[in-house]
A and B are shown apart, each in its own frame.
Chain A
Amino acid sequence: DQQVKQNSPSLSVQEGRISILNCDYTNSMFDYFLWYKKYPAEGPTFLISISSIKDKNEDGRFTVFLNKSAKHLSLHIVPSQPGDSAVYFCAASSPSDFNKFYFGSGTKLNVKP
Protein backbone atom coordinates (compact mmCIF):
# COMPACT_ATOMS: atom_id res chain seq x y z
CA ASP A 1 0.00 0.00 0.00
CA GLN A 2 1.59 3.25 -1.16
CA GLN A 3 1.92 5.81 1.59
CA VAL A 4 2.83 8.58 -0.83
CA LYS A 5 0.68 9.12 -3.90
CA GLN A 6 0.93 11.28 -6.96
CA ASN A 7 -2.39 10.90 -8.69
CA SER A 8 -1.52 12.75 -11.88
CA PRO A 9 0.81 10.67 -14.04
CA SER A 10 1.35 13.56 -16.42
CA LEU A 11 0.97 17.33 -16.73
CA SER A 12 1.37 19.60 -19.74
CA VAL A 13 2.00 23.34 -19.29
CA GLN A 14 2.85 26.21 -21.58
CA GLU A 15 6.27 27.85 -21.18
CA GLY A 16 6.11 30.83 -18.84
CA ARG A 17 3.01 29.61 -17.01
CA ILE A 18 2.82 27.99 -13.58
CA SER A 19 3.24 24.24 -13.11
CA ILE A 20 1.58 22.73 -10.05
CA LEU A 21 2.45 19.18 -9.10
CA ASN A 22 0.53 17.51 -6.31
CA CYS A 23 1.32 14.83 -3.78
CA ASP A 24 -0.77 13.19 -1.04
CA TYR A 25 0.37 11.05 1.84
CA THR A 26 -1.38 8.83 4.35
CA ASN A 27 1.13 8.45 7.20
CA SER A 28 0.64 11.23 9.76
CA MET A 29 4.09 10.47 11.19
CA PHE A 30 5.81 11.84 8.07
CA ASP A 31 7.47 15.13 8.93
CA TYR A 32 9.98 15.68 6.15
CA PHE A 33 9.15 15.93 2.48
CA LEU A 34 11.25 16.25 -0.65
CA TRP A 35 10.82 16.71 -4.37
CA TYR A 36 13.12 15.08 -6.88
CA LYS A 37 13.39 15.65 -10.61
CA LYS A 38 14.38 12.86 -12.98
CA TYR A 39 15.48 13.16 -16.59
CA PRO A 40 15.56 10.04 -18.80
CA ALA A 41 18.68 7.89 -18.34
CA GLU A 42 19.65 9.85 -15.21
CA GLY A 43 19.10 9.27 -11.51
CA PRO A 44 16.69 11.48 -9.54
CA THR A 45 18.09 14.91 -8.61
CA PHE A 46 17.14 16.59 -5.36
CA LEU A 47 15.10 19.75 -5.93
CA ILE A 48 13.63 21.11 -2.72
CA SER A 49 12.52 19.91 0.70
CA ILE A 50 10.24 21.03 3.50
CA SER A 51 9.99 20.14 7.15
CA SER A 52 6.59 19.81 8.82
CA ILE A 53 7.30 22.81 11.02
CA LYS A 54 6.88 24.96 7.91
CA ASP A 55 4.06 25.30 5.42
CA LYS A 56 6.08 26.84 2.62
CA ASN A 57 9.63 26.71 1.32
CA GLU A 58 10.89 28.67 -1.65
CA ASP A 59 14.00 28.30 -3.78
CA GLY A 60 14.11 30.45 -6.87
CA ARG A 61 11.37 29.38 -9.27
CA PHE A 62 10.41 26.42 -7.06
CA THR A 63 8.08 26.61 -4.08
CA VAL A 64 6.78 23.70 -2.04
CA PHE A 65 3.61 24.06 0.01
CA LEU A 66 2.64 21.72 2.81
CA ASN A 67 -0.88 21.31 4.17
CA LYS A 68 -0.52 18.97 7.12
CA SER A 69 -4.20 18.78 7.95
CA ALA A 70 -4.97 17.63 4.41
CA LYS A 71 -1.81 15.51 4.21
CA HIS A 72 -1.04 17.22 0.95
CA LEU A 73 1.94 18.93 -0.58
CA SER A 74 2.44 20.66 -3.86
CA LEU A 75 5.34 21.92 -5.94
CA HIS A 76 4.89 25.16 -7.85
CA ILE A 77 7.25 26.07 -10.68
CA VAL A 78 7.00 29.67 -11.85
CA PRO A 79 7.70 30.46 -14.61
CA SER A 80 7.90 27.03 -16.21
CA GLN A 81 10.68 26.45 -18.72
CA PRO A 82 11.11 23.72 -21.35
CA GLY A 83 14.15 22.46 -19.41
CA ASP A 84 11.81 21.66 -16.52
CA SER A 85 10.29 18.85 -18.57
CA ALA A 86 11.05 15.74 -16.51
CA VAL A 87 9.45 13.28 -14.11
CA TYR A 88 8.93 14.72 -10.64
CA PHE A 89 8.82 12.48 -7.58
CA CYS A 90 7.72 13.51 -4.11
CA ALA A 91 9.13 11.63 -1.14
CA ALA A 92 8.47 11.58 2.60
CA SER A 93 10.17 10.37 5.72
CA SER A 94 9.36 9.99 9.41
CA PRO A 95 11.42 10.48 12.58
CA SER A 96 11.35 6.76 13.32
CA ASP A 97 13.52 6.15 10.28
CA PHE A 98 15.03 9.22 8.71
CA ASN A 99 17.11 7.17 6.28
CA LYS A 100 14.03 5.73 4.65
CA PHE A 101 12.23 7.77 2.01
CA TYR A 102 8.84 6.75 0.66
CA PHE A 103 8.44 7.85 -2.95
CA GLY A 104 5.36 8.66 -4.99
CA SER A 105 4.97 7.16 -8.45
CA GLY A 106 5.96 10.37 -10.21
CA THR A 107 4.35 12.99 -12.45
CA LYS A 108 5.74 13.56 -15.93
CA LEU A 109 5.83 17.29 -16.63
CA ASN A 110 5.95 18.53 -20.20
CA VAL A 111 6.58 22.25 -20.66
CA LYS A 112 5.72 23.29 -24.19
CA PRO A 113 7.67 26.13 -25.85
Chain B
Amino acid sequence: DIVMTQSPDSLAVSLGERATISCRSSQSLLKSSNNKNYLAWFQQRPGQPPKMFISWASTRESGVPDRFSGSGSGTDFTLTISGLQPEDVAVYYCQQYWSAPITFGQGTRLEIK
Protein backbone atom coordinates (compact mmCIF):
# COMPACT_ATOMS: atom_id res chain seq x y z
CA ASP B 1 0.00 0.00 0.00
CA ILE B 2 1.14 3.57 -0.63
CA VAL B 3 1.70 5.37 2.66
CA MET B 4 0.79 9.04 2.80
CA THR B 5 2.43 11.15 5.50
CA GLN B 6 1.37 14.70 6.27
CA SER B 7 3.10 17.36 8.30
CA PRO B 8 2.41 18.97 10.61
CA ASP B 9 -0.39 17.17 12.44
CA SER B 10 -1.80 20.50 13.55
CA LEU B 11 -1.23 24.09 12.64
CA ALA B 12 -2.37 27.43 14.06
CA VAL B 13 -2.18 30.44 11.77
CA SER B 14 -3.36 34.02 12.18
CA LEU B 15 -6.16 35.32 10.01
CA GLY B 16 -4.81 36.67 6.74
CA GLU B 17 -1.56 34.75 7.05
CA ARG B 18 -0.30 31.79 5.05
CA ALA B 19 -0.77 28.15 5.99
CA THR B 20 1.37 25.42 4.47
CA ILE B 21 0.74 21.69 4.73
CA SER B 22 3.09 19.04 3.37
CA CYS B 23 2.25 15.58 2.11
CA ARG B 24 4.70 12.87 1.18
CA SER B 25 3.91 9.57 -0.52
CA SER B 26 5.92 6.37 -0.15
CA GLN B 27 6.15 6.04 -3.92
CA SER B 28 5.86 8.36 -6.88
CA LEU B 29 2.39 9.45 -7.88
CA LEU B 30 3.56 10.86 -11.23
CA LYS B 31 2.46 8.96 -14.29
CA SER B 32 4.95 9.63 -17.07
CA SER B 33 2.54 8.84 -19.90
CA ASN B 34 0.28 11.77 -19.07
CA ASN B 35 2.53 13.81 -16.75
CA LYS B 36 -0.13 13.82 -14.06
CA ASN B 37 0.21 13.39 -10.33
CA TYR B 38 -2.53 11.24 -8.82
CA LEU B 39 -2.87 13.32 -5.66
CA ALA B 40 -5.94 15.06 -4.23
CA TRP B 41 -6.61 17.30 -1.26
CA PHE B 42 -9.71 17.13 0.90
CA GLN B 43 -11.14 19.56 3.42
CA GLN B 44 -13.30 18.31 6.28
CA ARG B 45 -15.14 20.85 8.38
CA PRO B 46 -16.48 19.74 11.78
CA GLY B 47 -19.50 17.48 11.50
CA GLN B 48 -19.37 17.29 7.71
CA PRO B 49 -18.13 14.75 5.17
CA PRO B 50 -14.83 15.56 3.52
CA LYS B 51 -14.84 17.51 0.30
CA MET B 52 -12.31 17.20 -2.50
CA PHE B 53 -11.11 20.62 -3.58
CA ILE B 54 -7.86 19.93 -5.43
CA SER B 55 -7.16 17.06 -7.80
CA TRP B 56 -4.15 16.16 -9.94
CA ALA B 57 -2.02 17.82 -7.24
CA SER B 58 -2.77 21.37 -8.38
CA THR B 59 -6.16 21.61 -10.13
CA ARG B 60 -8.71 23.48 -8.06
CA GLU B 61 -12.30 22.30 -8.28
CA SER B 62 -14.91 24.73 -9.54
CA GLY B 63 -15.77 27.39 -6.97
CA VAL B 64 -12.71 26.87 -4.81
CA PRO B 65 -11.13 30.22 -3.86
CA ASP B 66 -7.79 30.94 -5.47
CA ARG B 67 -6.19 31.39 -2.05
CA PHE B 68 -5.95 27.58 -2.09
CA SER B 69 -3.11 26.20 -4.18
CA GLY B 70 -1.54 22.81 -4.57
CA SER B 71 1.95 22.09 -5.79
CA GLY B 72 4.57 19.38 -5.95
CA SER B 73 5.28 16.30 -8.00
CA GLY B 74 6.42 12.73 -7.58
CA THR B 75 6.44 12.07 -3.86
CA ASP B 76 6.37 15.54 -2.30
CA PHE B 77 3.35 17.80 -2.34
CA THR B 78 2.25 21.02 -0.67
CA LEU B 79 -1.06 22.69 0.05
CA THR B 80 -0.84 26.43 0.57
CA ILE B 81 -3.62 28.63 1.86
CA SER B 82 -2.75 32.26 1.28
CA GLY B 83 -4.67 34.68 3.44
CA LEU B 84 -6.37 32.41 5.97
CA GLN B 85 -10.10 32.97 6.45
CA PRO B 86 -12.27 31.83 9.38
CA GLU B 87 -14.10 29.34 7.17
CA ASP B 88 -10.81 27.57 6.41
CA VAL B 89 -10.74 26.03 9.89
CA ALA B 90 -10.88 22.32 9.11
CA VAL B 91 -8.90 19.13 8.89
CA TYR B 92 -7.07 18.70 5.60
CA TYR B 93 -6.21 15.34 4.07
CA CYS B 94 -4.09 14.38 1.11
CA GLN B 95 -5.11 11.31 -0.83
CA GLN B 96 -3.43 9.21 -3.49
CA TYR B 97 -5.49 7.63 -6.24
CA TRP B 98 -2.56 6.13 -8.12
CA SER B 99 -3.31 2.60 -7.04
CA ALA B 100 -5.61 0.54 -4.90
CA PRO B 101 -6.09 0.73 -2.07
CA ILE B 102 -6.71 4.47 -2.23
CA THR B 103 -4.99 5.87 0.84
CA PHE B 104 -5.05 9.07 2.83
CA GLY B 105 -2.69 11.03 5.00
CA GLN B 106 -3.38 11.18 8.71
CA GLY B 107 -4.79 14.69 8.42
CA THR B 108 -3.67 18.17 9.44
CA ARG B 109 -5.87 20.17 11.78
CA LEU B 110 -5.82 23.87 10.87
CA GLU B 111 -6.88 26.40 13.48
CA ILE B 112 -6.86 30.15 13.90
CA LYS B 113 -4.12 31.55 16.11
- Physical interaction between A and B: no
> Which A residues form the contact surface with B (CB < 8 A)?
none
